[in-house]
Structure 1
Amino acid sequence: MRHALVSIAAVKEAIETQGSPFATIDDTVWDEKYSERYGVLDFGVSSLQGPRETMEDCAYVVPRARCGFLFAAVFDGHSGFSAAEYLTDHLYGVISDAIDENTYGQECSVSDRDVSGLCCPLELRSILADSFKQTDEDLLRYLRGHEDEEERTSGATATVVLARTDKLVVANVGDSRAVLSRRGQAVDLTMEHRVSGDGPVVEAEVARVEAAGGWIADGRVCDVIAVSRAFGDQEFKGAGMPGMLQKGVSEEWWDQDFADSKHLTDDLLVAMPDIVEAPVLEDDEFVILATDGLWDVVTSHDAVSMARSDFKKQRSAQQIADRLTKTAIQRRTEDNVSVVVIDLGGGKDGWSKPQQKNSDKWKGFLGLK
Structure 2
Amino acid sequence: MFDPYTKTSSGKENGRIKYAASCMKGARLGMEDYHTAILELDGSDSTSFFGVFDGHGGYKVALYCSKQFHIELVNHPDYENDPRTAMKHVYFRIDETLRRSEKWKNFDSPPDPYPDPVKGNLLSRLKTAVSQIFKKYKGPQQEGTTACVALIRGNQIIVGNVGDSRCVLSRNGQAIDLSTDHKPNDPRERDRIEAAGGKVFQRDIPKFESGRRHGTVPGIHRVDGIIATSRALGDFKFKKNFFLTPARQRVTCNPDIRTENITDDTDFLLIASDGIWEVKTSEEVVSYVNKRLQSGTDPIVVCERLLDWCMLSLDNSTVILVQFKRDGGSCPEPSCRLFRANNPTATDIRSSHSCPRSQAKTTDTPSTSGGSKDDTKSVFDYDEE
Q: Is the pair's TM-score, using the shorter chain for normalization, greater than 0.5?
A: yes
Q: 1:95 aligns with which of 53, 68, 73?
A: 73
Within 5 A, what are the aligned runs for 1:99-114? Answer: 101-102=77-78
Residues 1:340 and 2:320 aligned together? yes
Residues 1:283 and 2:261 aligned together? no
2:86 paired residue number: 127
Q: 1:75 aligns with which of 43, 48, 53?
A: 53
Letter matched to residue 42 of structure 1: K
* Secondary structure class of the residue paired with 1:335: coil
* Secondary structure class of the residue paired with 2:230: coil
Q: 1:192 aligns with which of 153, 178, 181?
A: 181
Residues 1:210 and 2:194 aligned together? yes
2:18 paired residue number: 42
1:221 paired residue number: 223
Partner Cα distance (2:72, 2:278) in 1: 31
Residues 1:353 and 2:342 aligned together? no
1:102 offset after TM fit, Å? 2.4
1:42 offset after TM fit, Å? 0.4
Partner Cα distance (2:95, 2:149) in 1: 15
Partner Cα distance (1:79, 1:150) in 2: 13
When residues 159 and 207 of structure 1 are mapped into structure 2, their CA distance, relative to the original with a 3 A threshold, is same
Partner Cα distance (1:49, 1:288) in 2: 19
Residues 1:327 and 2:309 aligned together? yes
* Secondary structure class of the residue paired with 1:217: strand
When residues 165 and 146 of structure 1 are mapped into structure 2, their CA distance, relative to the original with a 3 A threshold, is closer
1:162 offset after TM fit, Å? 1.7
Letter matched to residue 53 of structure 1: L
2:237 paired residue number: 235
User: Any conservation in 2 of the 1:294–1:333 contact (CA below 8 Å)?
Assistant: yes
Q: Give deviations 1:62-116, integer Å, cap 9, x for gaps.
A: 1111352221110010011111011012111100101xx226xxxxxxxxxxxxx
User: Any conservation in 2 of the 1:88–1:367 contact (CA below 8 Å)?
Assistant: no
Question: Mind listing any 5+ residue stretches in structure 1 that lack a counterpart?
Answer: 9-30, 104-119, 197-201, 242-264
User: Any conservation in 1 of the 2:51–2:150 contact (CA below 8 Å)?
Assistant: yes
Within 5 A, what are the aligned runs for 1:295-306? Answer: 295-306=277-288
When residues 300 and 306 of structure 1 are mapped into structure 2, their CA distance, relative to the original with a 3 A threshold, is same
When residues 209 and 143 of structure 1 are mapped into structure 2, their CA distance, relative to the original with a 3 A threshold, is farther
Q: Give deviations 1:106-143, integer Å, cap 9, x for gaps.
A: xxxxxxxxxxxxxx32x422110111110111122235
Letter matched to residue 341 of structure 1: L
Partner Cα distance (2:97, 2:266) in 1: 36
1:362 offset after TM fit, Å? 8.6
User: Any conservation in 1 of the 2:241–2:249 contact (CA below 8 Å)?
Assistant: no
* Secondary structure class of the residue paired with 2:313: coil
> Which structure dedicates a bigger proportion of its chain to helix?
1
User: Any conservation in 2 of the 1:213–1:266 contact (CA below 8 Å)?
Assistant: no
Partner Cα distance (1:193, 1:187) in 2: 17
When residues 204 and 143 of structure 1 are mapped into structure 2, their CA distance, relative to the original with a 3 A threshold, is farther
Residues 1:56 and 2:56 aligned together? no
Partner Cα distance (2:143, 2:91) in 1: 17
Q: Give deviations 1:185-214, integer Å, cap 9, x for gaps.
A: 111111101122xxxxx1111111111121
2:298 paired residue number: 316
When residues 228 and 3 of structure 1 are mapped into structure 2, their CA distance, relative to the original with a 3 A threshold, is farther
TM-score (structure 1 length as normaliser): 0.69
1:266 offset after TM fit, Å? 5.6
User: Any conservation in 2 of the 1:82–1:151 contact (CA below 8 Å)?
Assistant: no
**Percent identity of paired positions between Structure 1 and Structure 2:** 29
1:142 paired residue number: 101
TM-score (structure 2 length as normaliser): 0.66
